[in-house]
């Protein structure tokens, strides 16, 4: 085999493996997200605490429910931009919390809007436990 011909083939094979791994890296389930945040918090998430957290204003203008609705099982609307928001509860939106990086990004952004800080792992676990408790 000519070594000059094998290099491009190897390069393509490596690129395909990297692409496949990157595509799968974001794949997760809402339950896996709950388990991750519960492990980080050192305690399981609590649906009642999550519901209270979700609906509270925390001394600020907005709560999570301000945009996502109460309960977050239907399409929501951003409080200031009026942009549509897909249902947040996984039972009502098959794409909710299926990408760990997106979940982390949106929790970081939304917690800063609601709390003026990032959410703790325990707060994320509680909210996720609440969202997973919502069924059709």
Could you read off the pLDDT of 20-54 as tens digits, one per residue? 343 445 689 999 999 999 999 999 999 999 999 99
Look-up of token digits 């204003």: 57
Residue 91 is given by DSSP the state G
Residue 126 is given by DSSP the state H
What is the band of 80 on the pLDDT scale with cuts at 50, 70, 90?
Answer: confident
Average pLDDT over the chain, rounded to an integer:
85
Roughly what angle, to the nearest 10 degrees, separates helices 121-133 and 30-41? 150
Query: Residue ranges of the domains in the chain?
Result: 27-133
Distance CA 102, CA 88 (A): 13
3-state secondary structure 27-48: ECCHHHHHHHHHHHHCCCCCHH
CA 73 to chain centre: 15
Residue 74 has pLDDT above 50, yes or no: yes
- CATH class, 27-133 region: mainly alpha
Q: Is 74 left (phi over 0), alpha (psi -120 to 50) or beta?
A: beta
Lowest mean pLDDT among 9-13, 105-109, 122-126: 9-13
Percent of the chain with pLDDT over 70: 81
């Amino acid at each position: 085999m000519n070594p000059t011909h094998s290099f491009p083939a190897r390069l393509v094979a490596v690129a395909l493996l990297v692409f496949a791994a990157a595509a799968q890296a974001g794949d997760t389930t809402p339950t896996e997200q709950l388990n991750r945040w519960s492990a980080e918090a050192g305690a399981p998430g609590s649906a009642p605490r999550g519901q209270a957290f979700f609906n509270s204003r925390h001394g600020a203008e907005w709560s999570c429910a301000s945009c996502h609705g109460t309960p977050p099982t239907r399409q929501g609307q951003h409080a200031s931009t009026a942009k549509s928001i897909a249902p947040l509860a996984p039972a009502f939106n098959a794409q909710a919390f299926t990408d760990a990086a997106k979940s982390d990004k949106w929790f970081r952004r939304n917690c800063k809007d609601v709390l003026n800080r990032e959410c703790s792992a325990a707060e994320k676990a509680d909210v996720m436990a609440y969202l997973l408790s919502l069924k059709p």
